[in-house]
Amino acid sequence: MADSGAGPARNRGNLPPLSLHVPEPRFRPGDRVDYSHLPIPPAGEQARPDETCDASDTRGLCDDLIRVLDDDHRAVGAWDPKLDPETLRRMLRSMALTRAFDDRMYRGQRQGKTSFYMKCTGEEAISIATAHALARDDMVFPSYRQQGILISRDFPLVEMVNQIYSNRADRLKGRQLPVMYSARDYGFFSISGNLATQYPQAVGWAMASAIKGDTRIASAFVGEGSSAEGDFHAAMTFAAVYNAPVVFNIVNNQWAISSFSGFAGAERATFAARAAGYGIAGLRVDGNDALAVYAAALWAADRARANAGPTLIEHFTYRAEGHSTSDDPSAYRSVQEREEWPLGDPIDRLMRHLIALGEWSSEQHAEMDLQVAEEVKAATKQAEKNGILGHGMHHPFHTMFEDVFEELPWHLQEQAEQAIRERQTKFPEWKA
């Protein structure tokens, strides 16, 4: 019987000693960055199978990289979604608006108006192109870097700022951390700070939609780091077994807070390749190419709607900013990584594509940037009239007892009344 005890190291003749592998990123602060190890295939060379194909027919696309925009900013290949210029301009504006919103909320956090913020700089194409590819009533189960979906669906910016500031107009009543929005009427499921919980929730929602004979599908997002959570694998199993109409999105932006993608398994295989193990379709897409993201999201949505099964999409991108306002990426990665990233900036690439089509100009783009900055500024000023974090303009005290039960039980009603009386006695100048 083998001895599995944890005792001193044993020497077994000429057998080499075991060694533990600890993943290590290629570049640390101060290092020169060289991305030549990344295989970036030419745009347009990837085959596009039929949406109802066998899942095994997508195996090659799990290791490839679906790309549409070439080096001359043209849309090429079978994955070109052939979007009209007006749709492209709407997508570009949503991306620019999202970046302007992020920049202002970042400054607001630094000014003490909120405790926390998370930008999606460099990842705007993923959420916005996906939102345009889905039906507006499809349910999205987002992570905390998909604010572009709300913006693409015309959710009021002032409502987003109210939530971030946790003020008296926050329709979530200060019960969610900043940036963890919830908007059922916009097909946007409540964001959870617990990573990967949205995956099994999305599968359950999609299964319910199928049981009811509905036509709506679910689309869920996690980062590559969160794909190492157990919930990810539980969701994949259920989706495969019950053929749930769901699209799984892994945003591989290379870094999960301060740990690089190798700790989630990137050294062994692509994240899209996990689809093969579950017998579902998988796609790996250039996450900084808005047209490629749109094409992949639409393919997966059409597949789900045709009862052909779930799809796992890996969006290969880069997190240009820190994980959040609480993070300093210069402490763990080279500052050159952002500048050297070979897939460029998603907004710049879409802008150049429109210019190449003769449907846009640098002057129009500069004017648009000013317009979206003013739009965000106006929304922020309006929201600040309702208060900012820590300045007392919050929901009335009694609301903390509401919305848990349809009818408040008698014992909680008594506790609420007692708490309100004590508060009024202690702080008579504050409203209940």
Sorting pLDDT into bands at 50, 70 and 90, what band is 404?
confident
Question: What is the number of other CB atoms lying within 10 angstroms of the CB of residue 103?
Answer: 15
Helix axes 290-305, 85-110, angle to 10 degrees: 110
Residue with tokens 């572009």: 148
- Digit-coded pLDDT (tens) for 277-326: 999 999 999 999 999 999 999 999 999 999 999 999 999 999 999 999 99
Q: Which two tokens stand for residue 62?
A: 């799990």
Judge whether 318 lies within some domain. Answer: yes
Q: Structural domain tally of the chain?
A: 2
- Whether 194 and 78 map to the same domain: the answer is yes
Assess whether pLDDT exceeds 90 at residue 431.
no
Judge whether 36 lies within some domain. Answer: no
- Whether 284 and 345 map to the same domain: the answer is yes
- Whether 367 and 280 map to the same domain: the answer is yes
Sheet holding 281-286, edge to edge: 139-141, 218-223, 246-252, 311-316, 281-286
CB 263 within 8 A of CB 23: yes
- Digit-coded pLDDT (tens) for 72-128: 999 999 999 999 999 999 999 999 999 999 999 999 999 999 999 999 999 999 999
- Whether 212 and 258 map to the same domain: the answer is yes
Judge whether 33 lies within some domain. Answer: no
Q: What is the pLDDT of residue 4?
A: 58
Q: Which two tokens stand for residue 269?
A: 């295989």
Assess whether pLDDT exceeds 80 at residue 2.
no
Report the 3 state secondary structure along 180-245.
CCCEHHHCECCCCCCCCCHHHHHHHHHHHHHHCCCCCCEEEEEECCHHHCHHHHHHHHHHHHHCCC
Q: What is the pLDDT of residue 13?
A: 79
Q: Which domain holds residue 362?
A: 55-328+337-384
Q: What is the pLDDT of residue 426?
A: 87
Assess whether pLDDT exceeds 60 at residue 1.
no
What torsion, rounded to 10 degrees, do the Cα atoms 99, 101, 104, 105 define? -110
High-pLDDT (> 70) share of the chain, %: 98
Contacts 24+ apart (CB under 8 A), 171-174: 173/395, 173/399, 173/400, 173/402, 173/403, 174/394, 174/395
- Whether 130 and 222 map to the same domain: the answer is yes
Query: Which string of b and e fits 16-39 if b means at least 16 CB within 10 Å?
Result: eeeeeeeeebebeeeeeeeeeeee
Average pLDDT over residues 360-380: 98
Sorting pLDDT into bands at 50, 70 and 90, what band is 46?
very high
Judge whether 49 lies within some domain. Answer: no
Assess whether pLDDT exceeds 70 at residue 3.
no
CB 279 within 8 A of CB 117: no
Assess whether pLDDT exceeds 90 at residue 55.
yes
- Whether 192 and 241 map to the same domain: the answer is yes
CATH number at residue 218: 3.40.50.970
- Digit-coded pLDDT (tens) for 330-364: 999 999 999 999 999 999 999 999 999 999 999 99
- Whether 347 and 412 map to the same domain: the answer is no
The DSSP string of 12-41 is -TTPPPP-------S--TT-----TTS--P
What does the longest C-alpha to C-alpha distance in the chain come to?
Answer: 81
Average pLDDT over residues 245-266: 95
Q: Which two tokens stand for residue 21?
A: 């592998």
Assess whether pLDDT exceeds 80 at residue 240.
yes
Q: What is d(CA 264, CA 19) in angstroms, rounded to the nearest whole number?
A: 20
Assess whether pLDDT exceeds 80 at residue 392.
no
